Amino acid sequence: MSGKNQHVVPHNDGWAVKGAGNQRATSVHDTQQQAIDAGREIARKHQSELVIHRPDGRIRDKDSHGNDPFPPKG
């Protein structure tokens, strides 16, 4: 994977998409689904992974959009 992983996380105004390690949100959305759709587009564009979090911050799901060999090594 070549780009920064994108995270869909809870935000005061709904749900945010943030690049890994970023303090600021790339975008903020009313619903989690809107944030997932936006984050997925960014992840595809940058060939990175989308990490979807639950309202409590735990990881709910991951979606890879880069070089994701199957079966994985190791």
pLDDT at 1: 47
Distance in angstroms (rounded) separating the CA atoms of residues 52 and 73: 24
pLDDT at 26: 97
Q: What ranges do the domains of the chain cover?
A: 6-59
pLDDT at 61: 97
Enter the pTM of the model: 0.84
Distance in angstroms (rounded) separating the CA atoms of residues 16 and 51: 12
The pLDDT profile of the chain, 74 residues, written as one tens digit per residue, is 468 999 999 999 999 999 999 999 999 999 999 999 999 999 999 999 999 999 999 999 999 976 656 666 65
